[in-house]
Structure 1
Amino acid sequence: MSKLGNLGARLHRGEVGYDFVGKRKIWYGVSILITITAILGLTVRGLNMGIEFQGGADFTTPKTSVSVAQAGTYAQAASGHQAVVQKLGTGGLRIQIAGIDTSKSDQIKASLAKDLKVPAESINADLVGPSWGEEIAGKAWEGLAIFMVLVVIYLAIAFEWRMALAALVALIHDITITTGIYALVGFEVTPGTVIGLLTILGYSLYDTVVVFDSLKEQTKDLTKQTRWTYSEIANRSINGTLVRSINTTVVALLPVAGLLFIGGGFLGAGTLNDISLSLFVGLAAGAYSSIFIATPLVADLKEREPQFKALKKRVLAKRAQGGAEGNLAEARATGTAEDEDPQDAAPAVVGPRNQPSSRNRGRGRPSGKRR
């Protein structure tokens, strides 16, 4: 068995562990800081919405020697709007111009043909009206809201409302961070981005539910003992599934990183960026939130219940009593204990002391009997 496997087994048995729940205020602070940064990015820069959401035109050209940067300059001059240009495998270009009046598409097409030195009839133009783009955006938000509601209902039935609330907070945390990263890096938001968001939400929930299921099993009849508090059991649940969470996250991130950094970066397949970035950021944020946000938040909510408040008092009182007894025993063993009260000491022996009779006394002596 590998070292990681041995570590996972020891974590599962509770032999070793890290106090995630005990340091939850640190994780809350880190998450709040990241979330504020993401919200500022959304507020200041905003999202670069694709033509599917804003409306516009998508021009595909045949093979040309014009660079991507120069084609973007030509497209902006022809339309008066910022353009997104991507190099295609055929040597042609894909030029997306959002927010333009579709009635001007023929004029823009003719201008691009002249600048790129290609025939106008060889440029393919796909037009998206603004009303259709608004409808797509509305449907995307509607689907996301329905997904959230169904998730909360399911988790409330399968577990309890506190776990459902914690999972919802973790999901909102993941969505905010992912969309904030999109705003900061300026990647275009397309239907692929929405698909990526829904995918990572499902993954984030999977990781969270694994920890919640372990926590549910370990907290059965918890109030009948006085060894562990709810927060300590929650921490053991996180540690018990930690290696599994790390393994699944790394395995999921490797192919996504290949799409993002190799496919979209080195090979120039920009069409992969919209979905691969949402998957990469979302998978990392989902793994983080399931460990550092969702379960500690459940522990916070549960510790407010009267029965678990009373349990915590009993556990701490028992530990304090056991600690005092252990200190006294250690002091006696080392000879540092204070002198005992004479009244509590054993009474001294007074008067003659009778010697114990020996079982061998008289053995071998004559019995005195006459023959």
Structure 2
Amino acid sequence: MSRLGSLGARLYRGEVGYDFIGSRKIWYGISILITITAVVALAVGGLNMGIEFKGGAVFTTPDTSATVAQAEESAVSASGHQAIVQKLGGDGGSLRIQITEVDLAKADAIKAELSKDLKVPEEKINADLVGPSWGEQIANKAWTGLGVFMVLVVIYLAIAFEWRMAIAALIALIHDITITVGIYALVGFEVTPGTVIGLLTILGYSLYDTVVVFDSLKEGTKGITKQTRWTYSEIANQSINGTLIRSINTTVVALLPVAGLLFIGGGVLGAGMLNDISLSLFVGLAAGAYSSIFIATPLVADLKERDPQMKALKKRILAKRAAAAAKGESAEDEQPYEDDVVGDPAPAAAVVGQRQQPPRGHGRTSGNRR
């Protein structure tokens, strides 16, 4: 077994662990800082909306020896607006020139200027006009889809788990989307329909790891009030540790092909559409994995610990541990009572290291105690 696989097995059995819940204020602070940075970037720089949302014209030339710089200079001179130029097919290939805020009359003048400067026949330059209304329709439908998706997610999680988990998952989703959109504002990547598709796609990925941890947490907290060994936060911490390697593995496997699209397809090959969708996927996948571990589950623990039953349970547990400490004993070394076995909990660990794990199983034990 590999070292990573061995670590994963030890995390699942509760032999080692990290106190994610105990350090939640640190994770909250990091997330708040990142979110504020994203919001400021949006407010100051805004998004670089594509031609589909602004309206304009796309000119495609035949094969030409003209460079991207020459085409950009000619397009800016002819239109008076910023132009985005892409070389299609490498040296000697055609050029795709995108200019916003161009009407039909102006498109003809730009086409003639491009023909003159790039030394290509005017009749072979293809001009496509795009109206901003189409982009507005796409944006409105995307917002509608996003709203419906979030409502359905909240309803499903509230039924399948509980309302606290639904709220935590919703906050994590908003966190992931805000960060992804903020990154677009920071790096200046163009927002196109491909970007919208990427944003909607990451919603499912963002929820995947969160639901896995929530399912483990739900299983581990069955009958939690019938025992006096582990608090809700400690069991939540064990749920994160037990699924940590699985989350890392699935996230890395998902990120690798997306990274190929972003850095090879978009960066090396210069495929613009790949940049549009791959950046949102890459950032969204990473943010989703982060939020499921550091945001969603700690939020559930915070909300749950406010419950009167959980407060009373924590008080009993702390009193029991204080009494054991006064006697020079360890509450964790005591033989568990029949009503002390619950799920797969384990005490929280301040750092990675050895720790003891209670017997596995659910509900009451049967047979003679050992």
TM-score bracket, normalised by the shorter chain, equals 0.7 to 0.9
| 1:224 partner letter | K
Gaps of 5+ in 1: 329-371
For residues 64-105 of structure 1, give each alpha carbon's deviation from its aligned partner in whole angstroms, at most 9, with x where no partner exists. Answer: 222223322221222222111111126111111123334422
Amino acid in the other structure paired with 1:100: V
Query: 2:72 is matched with which residue?
Result: 72
- 1:56 and 1:127 in contact (8 A); partners too: yes
Q: Match for 1:230 among 208, 216, 232? A: 232
Structure 1 match to 2:297: 295
Aligned to 1:324: 326
Name the CA distance, whole Å, in 2 between partners of 1:115 and 1:151.
55
| TM-score, normalising length: structure 2 | 0.86
In structure 2, what is the Cα distance between the partners aligned to 1:32 and 1:225? Answer: 36
Counterpart check, 1:42 vs 2:37: no
Q: Do structure 1's residue 2 and structure 2's residue 2 form an aligned pair?
A: yes
**Once the two structures are aligned, what percentage of the paired residues are identical?**
82
Q: Which residue number corresponds to residue 30 of structure 2?
A: 30
The one-letter code of the counterpart of 1:236 is: Q
Following superposition, the deviation at residue 112 of structure 1 comes to 1.6
* CA shift in 2, pair 1:103/1:150, >3 Å: farther
Shift of residue 327, structure 1, vs aligned partner: 6.0
Q: Is the 8 A contact 1:58 1:127 kept in 2?
A: yes
Aligned residue for 2:254?
252
Q: TM-score, normalised by structure 1?
A: 0.86
Question: SS of the residue aligned with 2:327?
Answer: helix
CA contact (8 A) 1:49 1:188 kept: yes
SS at match of 1:326: coil
> In the alignment, is the contact (CA less than 8 A) between 2:103 and 2:129 conserved in 1?
no
Alignment match, 1:188:
190
Aligned partner of 1:240 among 242, 248, 253: 242
In structure 2, give the amino acid aligned to 1:182: Y
CA contact (8 A) 1:59 1:94 kept: yes
Cα drift, residue 117 of structure 1: 1.3
1:107 to 106, 109, 119: 109
| Distance change (3 Å), C-alpha of 1:137 and 1:102 | farther
Residues 269-348 of structure 1: pairs in structure 2 closer than 5 A: 269-326=271-328
For residue 221 of structure 1, the aligned residue among 214, 217, 223 is 223
The amino acid of 2:234's aligned partner reads E
**Bigger radius of gyration:** 1
Say if 1:52 and 1:128, in contact at 8 Å, map to a contact too.
yes
Q: Which residue of 2 aligns with 1:121?
A: 123
Instruction: Indicate the residue corresponding to 1:81 in structure 2.
Output: 81
DSSP-derived class of the 1:202 partner: helix
Contact 1:60 1:95 in 2 (8 A): yes
2:20 corresponding residue in structure 1: 20
> Aligned partners of 1:142 and 1:320: how far apart in 2?
54
Which residue identity lines up with residue 249 of structure 1 in the other structure?
T
Letter of the structure 2 residue corresponding to residue 272 of structure 1: L
Structure-1 separation of matches of 2:314 and 2:122: 77
Per the alignment, do residues 295 and 102 of structure 1 end up closer, same or farther by CA in structure 2, a change over 3 Å counting? farther
Q: Which amino acid aligns with 2:16?
A: V
Tell me the secondary structure at the aligned position of residue 241 of structure 1.
helix
CA distance in structure 2 between the aligned counterparts of 1:29 and 1:204, rounded to whole angstroms: 20
Backbone CA RMSD of aligned residues: 1.4
Aligned CA distance change for structure 1 residues 103 and 143 (closer, same or farther; 3 Å): farther
Change (3 A) 1:149 1:98: farther
Q: How far, CA to CA, are the matches of 1:225 and 1:264 in structure 2? A: 55
Aligned amino acid, residue 328 of structure 2: G
* Counterparts of 2:115 and 2:152, CA distance in 1: 50
Q: Give the letter aligned to residue 148 of structure 2.
A: I
User: 1 CA distance for matches of 2:118 and 2:108?
Assistant: 15
Query: What SS does structure 1 have at the residue aligned with 2:127?
Result: strand
1:175 aligns with 2:177: yes
**2:189 and 2:8 mapped to 1: Cα distance?**
38
Deviations 1:223-281 (A, max 9, x none): 11011000111100000000000001111111111111111112222331101111111
Using CA pairs below 8 Å that are at least 6 residues apart, which structure has the higher relative contact order?
2
- More off after superposition, 93-102 vs 289-298: 93-102
Moved over 6 A (4+): none
Displacement of 1:25 in angstroms is 0.2
SS in 1 for 2:129: strand
Q: Name the counterpart of 1:332.
A: none
- Per-residue CA distance 1:205-230 (angstroms, 9 max, x = gap): 01110000100110110011011000
Pair 327,222 (structure 1): closer, same or farther in 2 beyond 3 Å: closer
Contact 1:52 1:136 in 2 (8 A): no
